[in-house]
């Protein structure tokens, strides 16, 4: 009788653990279509989501990289072997059909270069060149092109604003829901390709549309109201940082793409240290 009760308790305990695990996995992968060809979904399953002290690398814009992207990957692999994961801000190649080559060159073992740690991607505007619906990008990296995941004390939200326009109502409603859920976490990180605003004097690259329900003005107010920790963007081939409203931002477009007109190349990536004590980030040139 005692053994039976003990066995029942063990069984209940196992059920509770499995339930908690299911809820947790559903949280950070909930809006992905789960299929074998979904790169981002599969990469998220390769690292722990329970670390309160961890490091990740952020980079973006490697189209027409002339070998610089390979240098960047090797720099990250060599100098930061203990990072948990990489996030790339998009514009992988100049047009959508070349994404197949990108997959062969950088996502397949034994080819030009490969990240040693998991890497997930944000959709860029060049992923829509020649393929406005993003069909090719989705076939490789997964759908939907906006998603969320967690890392113990941190909530990560990847936004798809690759077309530079206002977010549609579906994504805007999803974003508001994610930001509401993120209030249970210490840190909230937003990743998108196109900056809300262009801080450069050259205005070489366009920023988001400012007006509309999901435009830059609305997003800035939403991020401020939900105490977003940092916004990460790419699109502009340089490094900028500052605040939009009350929210800090980092623009990093130094993964190998040609320099802005009139500027020297600024090839770089960002290394971000996260702990219960705070956030620290470094600009790393290669």
The pLDDT of residue 281 is above 70: yes
Is 262 a residue whose pLDDT tops 80?
A: yes
Whether pLDDT at 87 is above 60: yes
Q: Is the pLDDT of residue 23 over 60?
A: no
The stretch 44-71 carries a mean pLDDT of: 97
Yes or no: say if 193 and 123 are a contact pair by the CB < 8 Å rule.
yes
Helix or strand or coil: residue 150? Answer: strand
The position carrying tokens 């604003």 is 161
Mean pLDDT on 223-239: 97
β-pair partners for 278 = 275
pLDDT reported for residue 10: 53
Mean pLDDT of the chain: 90
252: three-class secondary structure by DSSP? strand
Closest CA to 249 of 206, 212, 220: 220
Sequence-separated (6 or more) residues with CB below 8 Å from residue 21: none
Q: What is the per-residue DSSP string for 77-127?
A: HHH-TT-SEEEE-S--SSSGGGHHHHHHHHSSTTSS---SS-EEE---GGG
Mean pLDDT of 76-94: 98
Structure tokens at 118: 């998991």
* Those residues with Cβ within 8 angstroms of residue 59's Cβ, 6 or more apart along the chain or in another chain: 72, 76, 86, 87, 88, 89, 234, 252, 254, 255, 268, 269, 270
Residue 110 CB neighbours (<10 A): 5
pTM for this predicted structure: 0.88
The stretch 50-57 carries a mean pLDDT of: 97
Task: Report the chain's C-alpha Rg in angstroms.
Answer: 20
Q: How far apart are CA 31 and CA 194, in angstroms?
A: 22
Q: Where are the domains of the chain?
A: 1-30, 34-285
CA distance 263 to 203: 13
Nearest to 255 by CA among 80, 78, 58: 58
Cβ distance 125 to 237 under 8 Å?
Answer: no
269, 286 Cβ separation under 8 angstroms: yes
User: pLDDT-based confidence at 138, cuts 50/70/90?
Assistant: very high
Residues, the chain, total? Answer: 286
pLDDT higher than 70, residue 34: no
Beta carbons within 8 Å of 184's beta carbon, 6+ residues apart: 155
Decide: helix, strand or coil at residue 153.
coil
Confidence at 31, pLDDT banded by 50, 70, 90:
low
Q: What band does 26 get if pLDDT is binned at 50, 70 and 90?
A: very low
CATH number for 34-285 (one of 3.60.21.10, 1.10.10.10, 3.20.20.70, 3.30.200.20): it is 3.60.21.10
Q: What is the rounded end-to-end Cα distance, in angstroms, of the chain?
A: 67
Reading phi first (left if > 0) and then psi (alpha if -120 to 50, else beta), residue 115 is in: beta
pLDDT value at position 206? 83
């Amino acid at each position: 009788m005692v053994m039976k009760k003990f066995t029942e308790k063990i069984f209940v305990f196992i059920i509770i653990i499995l339930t908690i695990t299911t809820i947790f996995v559903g949280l950070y992968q909930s809006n992905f279509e789960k299929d074998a060809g979904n790169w981002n979904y599969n990469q998220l399953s390769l690292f722990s989501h329970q670390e309160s002290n961890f490091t990740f690398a952020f980079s973006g814009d490697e189209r027409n990289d002339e070998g610089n992207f390979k240098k960047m990957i090797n720099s990250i692999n060599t100098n930061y072997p203990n990072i948990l994961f990489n996030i790339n801000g998009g514009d992988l190649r100049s047009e959508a059909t070349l994404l197949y080559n990108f997959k062969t060159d950088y996502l397949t073992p034994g080819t030009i270069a490969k990240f040693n740690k998991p890497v997930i991607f944000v959709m860029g505007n060049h992923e829509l060149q020649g393929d406005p619906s993003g069909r090719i990008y989705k076939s490789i990296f997964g759908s939907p092109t906006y998603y969320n995941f967690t890392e113990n004390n941190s909530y990560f939200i990847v936004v798809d604003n690759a077309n530079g326009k206002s977010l549609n109502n579906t994504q805007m409603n999803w974003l508001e829901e994610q930001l509401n859920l993120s209030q249970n976490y210490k840190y909230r990180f937003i990743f998108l390709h196109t900056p809300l605003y262009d801080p450069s004097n050259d205005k070489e690259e366009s920023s988001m549309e400012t007006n509309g329900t999901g435009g830059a003005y609305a997003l800035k107010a939403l991020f401020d109201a939900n105490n977003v920790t940092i916004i990460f963007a790419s699109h502009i081939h340089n490094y900028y940082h500052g605040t939009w409203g009350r929210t800090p931002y980092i623009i990093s477009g130094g993964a190998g793409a040609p320099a802005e007109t009139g500027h020297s190349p600024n090839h770089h990536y960002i290394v971000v240290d996260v702990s219960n004590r705070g956030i620290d980030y470094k600009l790393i040139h290669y």
